[in-house]
Structure 1
Amino acid sequence: MAGGQSGWSQAALLQFFLGVCLMVMPPTQARSLRFVTLLYRHGDRSPVKTYPKDPHQEDEWSQGFGQLTKIYVRSTDFDRTLMSAEANLAGLFPPNEMQSFNPNISWQPIPVHTVPITEDRLLKFPLGPCPRYEQLQNETRQTAEYQNKTIQNAQFLDMVANETGLTDLTLETVWNVYDTLFCEQTHGLSLPSWASPQTVQHLSQLKDFSFRFLFGIHEQAQKARLQGGVLLAQILKNLTLMATSSQFPKLLVYSAHDTTLVALQMALDVYNGKQAPYASCHMFELYQEDDGNFSVEMYFRNSSEKAPWPLILPGCPHRCPLQDFLRLTEPVIPKDWQKECQLASDTADTEVIVALAVCGSILFLLIVLLLTVLFRMQAQPPGYHHVADREDHA
């Protein structure tokens, strides 16, 4: 002390104690991005197929039907999705000096994993065969919304069928006509006179309805368990593994289709009702928070001119705690897809067949046992009697 005044000012004391606290307290962990899953639709392609009266047949598409126009992770087994995966990977991972094998080629090979179309139970939707799903679709066709939509568009569908040469054109198949016209218009081919802007717009609306028919309108949660919930279950499994293991890949990419995106987003109940455009991408980001817990954020990129749209899982904030994300999506996650795909009557029939088989087996064993006893009795020689051993006692 000097002159009755403290040698420490209030500010100096505060700074001293703050420094002591910082030395004693462990440093706060910054929020970090731990894992990303991407599901995107393939890029621009030619029509999948066309209609009989189309003036632009397959010979006008140098790459053939259903192929990307400019450019072959997990992907469905289609050229357009495999090529999209390769193109995206080429942009994401240009080779460094050690990875470059040709100075004139700024590319390095990266594997893309796939399975045959008939065996794909993850990305090719709708998944099948699934009798229960087909039953739900038949029930959907009986709903008032579907019936009214059919009546309202009967004359329009007849006109389109007559102009295209297609037979049995329905709300579920008319999307093919829109797809063909859209691809042709995108690539500068002239449309037939009947395909006015109003007609194309009408076809676009029916195309969007067909997506809703596949995965919603009726018993959406049940459909999700048999369709998009299968893919969502795998994504959730990956998120959980990444939260508990540092050995899991940091980025997982699925290259697939518009139906894949719709199936997933309908299961999550975040679908905006519109077809996903080319190269649109649904993103899952797994973060580790400052307190060590994990959270999930979702985004949907459907435009190159705008930032991705934040997607909010119903019942949770955008930064959704992982445990809440798992809890809220549990109702649409199948426990046993093969079993849930069976019809109730099929399950009952199977149980009856199994019970009859068990009873039959037991009866057969009893008959065999009875015959064996009878055979042994008949095999004993005449006059033979079994005499028990006796011991003489004094």
Structure 2
Amino acid sequence: MEEPREDTRVTAGFIEDCKTLINKFEECDDIRFQDFCEVWHSMKFSAIFTGRQSYVEMLEFCEDALQDAKSFLKPPCRFKTQIGCLYLLYALYYKQPCEDVKIRFTYSEWKELKELHNTLKTGNHVDANYVLSKMIYDDAFVHTAYENEYGFEKYLRSKGIQFANPYSLIPALNDTVEQKRLFSRIGKIGDFYNQARCMPTNEIPEKAREKFDVTAYTDFVKELKSLRDRRIPVKNHSSDDYYYPAWKDQSSDEKSKIAYITRKFLPIILALVFVSVAIAANASRGGPGRRGGGHSRNPNRNEESEAALRAASLRQVTVVFRHSHRTPADTYPNDPHINSKLEPYGWGQLTNEGKLAAYNQGLWLAKRYGPFLGTEFSTDIFQLQTTAVDRAQMSGMLTSAGLWVPKGTQLWKSNLKWQPTPIKYQELDQDTLLLVRTDCRAYYRELDAVKNDTEYQQVQAENKQLYDELTALTGMSISNPDDIMSVYGTLRAESDLGLPLPDWTKDYYPDRLVPLTIYSYLPLVKTDLLKRLKGGPFVKKIVNDMKGKVAGTEKKKMFMYTGHDSTITNLLGTLGVWDPQQPEYGILTTIELHENAEGWNVQLFLRNTTQRVPYPLTVPGCDTVCPLDKFIELLTPVIPVDWEKECQIDDDSYVAPTPLPP
């Protein structure tokens, strides 16, 4: 009878420590993150990263620790256990000393995680929702075809295989070719890739399809089995095991055969593994309609080929983004910088960092949409609209400058690679599109009702002490999430400028302010009526532009809009695709109208910082590639017919509040 193999992994015993930690957390009266932190510190859990003998061992430990900890997240684990697991993954991920070790999630696991995320949001579990949202936003998860990593090194290590001859892989490969083993699973990935490459709507370049050999996997395994069957096992006299002769015991013919097989097939198999997993990961990412965070991506992807493929079916694109990095737009009475002129910029203006980021975003748009737009600027194909705020207008002009770098006959000064583009805007008190600050009493009355409901009042009650503390520290009245957002925005901008923050901020900024700042955007478009009156006019404009393109009456290829954080959150909230997160400077969404053999379709993408690639969004009730008719049908309830009439109410005594500054 085979004795159980000793656990040789570097995380041996770690899973028991996790059980102990989560059990102690479950004994707490609440599920707040603070309770988890107390258990973490009492167990000195951070010490798990100590005692590793090398970076390689530390890297392996971090990979396996995140994978082991994830096991407490899966059904049928209790809800409180899952919350504890989220906190544990959060702590491990941000405490790990290795960079860029991510948490592996398969397609089915990601669907379960999204269901848990929805439960956290609907149940108003602020701490857990913030923890998960931040991990998604920071790309803590990587989408994979299988739960565990497959590769020779990882596989042999997990099997505990050691050989007297370190140069012979054949004994180990013998085990991998059997049914349900390593190459069997790699074969399934190969089958998946073969199916994907045959789909008529896929984006795999033709040259890449030609390079793929469907029979490579089966030929390789067949050769290995053939070689194995011609070899004679030798009795190991020091034990009851058998082993295969090592390299030095092979005949010259066998040596040549091994070398030939390795040289011929191993590069193909390795290429198959990497390409197939990348394709499978991409499918997993699109499948669940991932929002919020970050996403798995292939850094070696040919952007030019991708842009060319997109241009083949793209007919129109709407680009909407927040202005870039700025100085503080407002302040508070006890602010030590309240009397500063913030030279050389002034209050609420773009910084040099912001100017460069906005221009670079334009260069990125040119790379993504250049084959579609062409290289020559024309008002017939491009329109830029911003709010009336300086930083939005400057961001729009800089992004447009990066998008339309003059070439050829449009280069009007040899040492100045810039050309002007027209800009449209509405005065703030007349804004009916990007900020919607015109009088709409029906909207504010509905918003008052939302803020008086149980959920919002519970948030208020839970944070009353925080409000009182910040009121005393800032010298301004802090009574709701909007006030928290104001303080956070000021401290964030001052910190970005390198200005010293007061000592008291160390206990509050950013960690205790971020969750309520994120929450402050949610009530604004919580109900269909709020969506219809706030984000509805913008959605109506986008839909009408699409209809015009289909009818042949609209010639423009790109509509570009530059606004503010609320511009993005209100638009995406109205579309039903906004996951709670901090809308960073330059956050950008694109709404693409495509035409292919099956008709017209709409595709949405979000680039939540200028440092990340965009990821697809899925409108509830549709697919990532959403037929235009279905897209319009789903959004009809949030598109106003007569906005001015719908904003009227019968109660003449109701006075709408003054809109917050942008």
Which TM class, normalised by the smaller chain length?
0.7 to 0.9
What percentage of residue pairs aligned between the two structures are identical?
A: 34
Separation (CA, whole Å) in 2 of partners of 1:196 and 1:238: 48
- Alignment counterpart, residue 627 of structure 2, candidates 321, 326, 331: 321
Displacement of 1:247 in angstroms is 4.9
* 3-state secondary structure, aligned to 1:253: strand
Kindly tell me: are residues 115 and 199 of structure 1, through their superposed partners in 2, closer, same or farther at Cα, counting changes over 3 Å? closer
CA RMSD of aligned residues (A): 1.8
Displacement of 1:172 in angstroms is 2.5
Q: For residue 50 of structure 1, what is the amino acid of its counterpart?
A: T
- For residue 173 of structure 2, what is the aligned residue in structure 1? none
Displacement of 1:304 in angstroms is 3.4
- Alignment counterpart, residue 331 of structure 1, candidates 614, 627, 637: 637
- Alignment counterpart, residue 48 of structure 1, candidates 318, 329, 341: 329
Deviations 1:126-149 (A, max 9, x none): x33111111112212211111111
- For residue 69 of structure 1, what is the aligned residue in structure 2? 351
* 1:225 equivalenced with 2:544 (yes/no): no
Deviations 1:193-215 (A, max 9, x none): 11115442111111111111222
* 1:260 equivalenced with 2:567 (yes/no): yes
- For residue 358 of structure 1, what is the aligned residue in structure 2? none
- Alignment counterpart, residue 395 of structure 2, candidates 81, 84, 102: 84
| Cα contact 2:341–2:347 (8 A) shared by 1 | no
* 1:272 equivalenced with 2:579 (yes/no): yes
Greater displacement, 44-53 / 239-248: 239-248
Separation (CA, whole Å) in 1 of partners of 2:509 and 2:613: 32
Displacement of 1:173 in angstroms is 2.1
- For residue 123 of structure 1, what is the aligned residue in structure 2? 434
* 3-state secondary structure, aligned to 2:481: coil
Displacement of 1:113 in angstroms is 0.9
Q: For residue 465 of structure 2, what is the amino acid of its counterpart?
A: Q
Separation (CA, whole Å) in 2 of partners of 1:213 and 1:255: 23
- For residue 187 of structure 1, what is the aligned residue in structure 2? 497
Separation (CA, whole Å) in 2 of partners of 1:60 and 1:294: 50
* 1:109 equivalenced with 2:420 (yes/no): yes
Runs of 4+ that moved beyond 6 A: none
* 3-state secondary structure, aligned to 2:337: coil
Task: Report the count of equivalent residues.
Answer: 312
Q: For residue 203 of structure 1, what is the amino acid of its counterpart?
A: L
Kindly tell me: are residues 168 and 32 of structure 1, through their superposed partners in 2, closer, same or farther at Cα, counting changes over 3 Å? closer
Kindly tell me: are residues 168 and 206 of structure 1, through their superposed partners in 2, closer, same or farther at Cα, counting changes over 3 Å? closer
| Cα contact 1:41–1:81 (8 A) shared by 2 | yes
Kindly tell me: are residues 247 and 158 of structure 1, through their superposed partners in 2, closer, same or farther at Cα, counting changes over 3 Å? closer
Deviations 1:257-312 (A, max 9, x none): 11011111111111111131111111011111124x21000000113343211000
TM-score (norm 2): 0.46
In structure 2, runs of 5+ residues without a counterpart are: 1-310, 359-383, 653-662
Structure with the higher fraction of residues in helix conformation:
2
| Cα contact 1:226–1:337 (8 A) shared by 2 | yes
- Alignment counterpart, residue 163 of structure 1, candidates 457, 466, 473: 473
Separation (CA, whole Å) in 1 of partners of 2:554 and 2:578: 33
| Cα contact 1:51–1:165 (8 A) shared by 2 | yes
Deviations 1:164-191 (A, max 9, x none): 1113543322211000111111222221
Separation (CA, whole Å) in 2 of partners of 1:239 and 1:268: 15
| Cα contact 1:68–1:83 (8 A) shared by 2 | yes
| Cα contact 1:31–1:290 (8 A) shared by 2 | no
Displacement of 1:61 in angstroms is 4.0
- For residue 4 of structure 1, what is the aligned residue in structure 2? none
Kindly tell me: are residues 61 and 145 of structure 1, through their superposed partners in 2, closer, same or farther at Cα, counting changes over 3 Å? farther
Deviations 1:214-236 (A, max 9, x none): 222xxx11100110011001001
Separation (CA, whole Å) in 2 of partners of 1:275 and 1:302: 9
In structure 1, runs of 5+ residues without a counterpart are: 1-29, 347-394
| Cα contact 2:468–2:478 (8 A) shared by 1 | no
Q: For residue 64 of structure 1, what is the amino acid of its counterpart?
A: G
Kindly tell me: are residues 85 and 199 of structure 1, through their superposed partners in 2, closer, same or farther at Cα, counting changes over 3 Å? closer
- For residue 410 of structure 2, what is the aligned residue in structure 1? 99
Separation (CA, whole Å) in 1 of partners of 2:473 and 2:630: 52
Separation (CA, whole Å) in 2 of partners of 1:284 and 1:75: 17
